[in-house]
């Protein structure tokens, strides 16, 4: 018997440590997660998305004040160059996306990232030095806001807009999608969401990116693979479904019966519970405050419905507290910022791409390819041919 096959992992590799990372960690039992050495929710509330980007990619926050503010300014200028996206690249990618304008945005993102990689000469990580890897990581993450906006424009029969990097990562993205000058409130709210979703442990897409990176493949290929994982409905599609549930409920007085009916039917209540957190999702708490600050009918409904649904869940599963997760308020915040529901998962993708590229670079510094074993459960072999 193969001794390797006696070491059987739990389904989904739950609880199995497969690699070391210095990028961040999730401590689900404590309701806490961090990027590098900093509380992620504190970063989301008090730092810009660009600063968090620098932290996960390079390991430190750029100095932001006093005589050292030059460092922050230099990083801002570098990110703006990445956000600009050369016109020849925009034209070529738009032409490719227009071949299948009916495709969903997540499918277009896979195509766009692949085309972008070939246009900028993305080389195998195995053959690239550290500066080259950092440069393609920066260019790829900076390309995503324009790509999401362009894919949505093609889907709706419009022309993609020209980036405005001077608006910053978040403001530029809102401009690319809506064509309107972004408000300070919308930029602050969406920045919080994006900062909160940059990284979250070895989730399916991050792990996928690292597996591909372990082969020495090019960074674009790693990101395309991660995009494939994220497109699955069990991974990246919950924000819009949580908002759809609010639409179905309609008013706070209907929330209790709605929740009881779903539970009786054995259905999951979208936006509640998390695979890692056993209580409060810290991301949800900040987004809840953000939704309340933005205001509006949807935010008011979400706040009222949450209390009712939690009470029903506590009664239904008294031994396991199920609370609102990041997806519940994410949709409320994104819609309040002017984003259509079709772009909720792609917006999440933009943020997560920053985290993926950091993980890809970290994995590329090793020399060991991922090659786990499997347990054969088919008929005994060998058997004579019929």
Sequence ranges of the domains in the chain = 38-234+341-364, 238-336
pLDDT band at 367 (very low <50, low <70, confident <90, very high): very high
58-101 confidence digits (pLDDT tens): 999 987 655 457 888 999 999 999 999 999 999 999 999 999 99
Average pLDDT over residues 229-233: 89
The stretches of 267-339 forming alpha helices (DSSP H) are 282-294, 297-316, 326-336
Identify the weakest region by mean pLDDT among 3-17, 85-99, 258-272, 285-299.
Answer: 3-17
- Residue 293: per-residue pLDDT: 96
Nearest to 290 by CA among 196, 176, 156: 196
Query: Do you know the residue count of the chain?
Result: 386
Computed over every residue of the chain, the mean pLDDT equals 92
CATH for the 38-234+341-364 domain, from 3.10.28.10, 1.10.580.10, 2.40.50.100, 1.25.40.420: 1.10.580.10
145-169 confidence digits (pLDDT tens): 999 999 999 999 999 999 999 999 9
Residue tagged 């690249």 (tokens): 89
- SS3 assignment, position 137: helix
Nearest to 243 by CA among 316, 319, 340: 340
Half-sphere exposure of 47 (CA within 13 A, CB side): 26
pLDDT band at 238 (very low <50, low <70, confident <90, very high): low
Buried b (16+ CB within 10 A) or exposed e, 72-82: beebbebbbeb
- Residue 213: per-residue pLDDT: 98
94-140 confidence digits (pLDDT tens): 999 999 999 999 999 999 999 999 999 999 999 999 999 999 999 99
pLDDT band at 29 (very low <50, low <70, confident <90, very high): confident
The model scores a pTM over 0.85: yes
- Burial group, residue 129, by CB count within 10 angstroms (0-12, 13-18, 19+): exposed
278-323 confidence digits (pLDDT tens): 667 888 899 999 999 999 999 999 999 988 988 898 888 877 777 8
Average pLDDT over residues 214-221: 98
User: Does residue 173 have a pLDDT over 90?
Assistant: yes
Buried b (16+ CB within 10 A) or exposed e, 259-298: beebbeeeeebbbbbbeebeebbbbbbbbbebbeebeeeb
Separation CA 349–CA 80 (nearest Å): 19
Average pLDDT over residues 223-239: 86
User: Does residue 236 have a pLDDT over 80?
Assistant: no
- Residue 277: per-residue pLDDT: 62
Separation CA 112–CA 47 (nearest Å): 30
pLDDT band at 21 (very low <50, low <70, confident <90, very high): very high
Separation CA 164–CA 263 (nearest Å): 47
- Residue 237: per-residue pLDDT: 64
Active site amino acids: 274, 327
- Residue 345: per-residue pLDDT: 93
- Residue 67: per-residue pLDDT: 46
pLDDT band at 36 (very low <50, low <70, confident <90, very high): very high
User: Does residue 6 have a pLDDT over 70?
Assistant: no
pLDDT band at 1 (very low <50, low <70, confident <90, very high): very low
User: Does residue 31 have a pLDDT over 90?
Assistant: no
pLDDT band at 12 (very low <50, low <70, confident <90, very high): confident
User: Does residue 274 have a pLDDT over 80?
Assistant: no
CATH 1.10.230.10 fits 238-336, yes or no: yes
* DSSP code for 254: G
């Amino acid at each position: 018997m193969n001794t390797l096959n006696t070491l059987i992992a739990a389904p989904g590799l739950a609880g199995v440590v497969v690699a070391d990372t210095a990028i961040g960690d999730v401590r689900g039992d404590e309701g806490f997660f961090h990027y590098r050495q900093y509380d992620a929710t504190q970063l989301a509330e008090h730092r810009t998305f660009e600063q968090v980007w620098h932290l996960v990619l390079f390991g430190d926050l750029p100095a932001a004040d006093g005589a050292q503010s030059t460092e922050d300014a230099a990083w801002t200028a570098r990110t703006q160059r990445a956000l600009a996206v050369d016109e020849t690249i925009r034209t070529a990618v738009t032409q490719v996306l227009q071949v299948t304008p009916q495709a969903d945005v997540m499918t277009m993102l896979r195509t766009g990232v692949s085309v972008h990689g070939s246009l900028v000469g993305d080389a195998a990580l195995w053959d690239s030095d550290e500066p080259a890897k950092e440069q393609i990581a920066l260019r790829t993450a900076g390309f995503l806001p324009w790509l999401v906006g362009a894919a949505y424009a093609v889907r709706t029969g419009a022309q993609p807009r020209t980036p405005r990097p001077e608006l910053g990562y978040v403001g530029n993205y809102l401009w690319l999608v809506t064509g309107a000058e972004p408000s300070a409130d919308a930029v602050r709210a969406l920045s919080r969401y994006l900062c909160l979703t940059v990284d979250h442990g070895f989730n399916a897409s991050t792990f996928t990116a690292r597996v591909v990176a372990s082969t020495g493949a090019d960074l674009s290929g790693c990101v395309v693979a991660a995009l494939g994982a994220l497109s699955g409905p069990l991974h990246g599609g919950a924000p819009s479904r949580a908002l759809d549930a609010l639409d179905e409920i309609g008013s706070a007085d209907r929330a209790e019966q709605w929740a009881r009916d779903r539970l009786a039917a054995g259905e999951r209540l979208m936006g509640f519970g998390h695979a890692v957190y056993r209580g409060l999702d810290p991301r949800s708490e900040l987004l809840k405050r953000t939704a309340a600050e933005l205001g509006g009918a949807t935010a008011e409904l979400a706040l009222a419905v949450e209390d009712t649904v939690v009470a029903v869940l506590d009664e239904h599963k008294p031994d396991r507290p199920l609370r609102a997760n990041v997806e519940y308020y994410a949709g409320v915040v994104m819609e309040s910022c002017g984003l259509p529901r079709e772009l909720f998962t792609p917006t999440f993708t933009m943020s997560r791409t920053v985290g993926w590229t950091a993980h890809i670079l970290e994995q590329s510094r090793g020399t060991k390819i991922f090659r786990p074993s499997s347990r054969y459960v088919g008929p005994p072999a060998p058997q004579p041919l019929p």
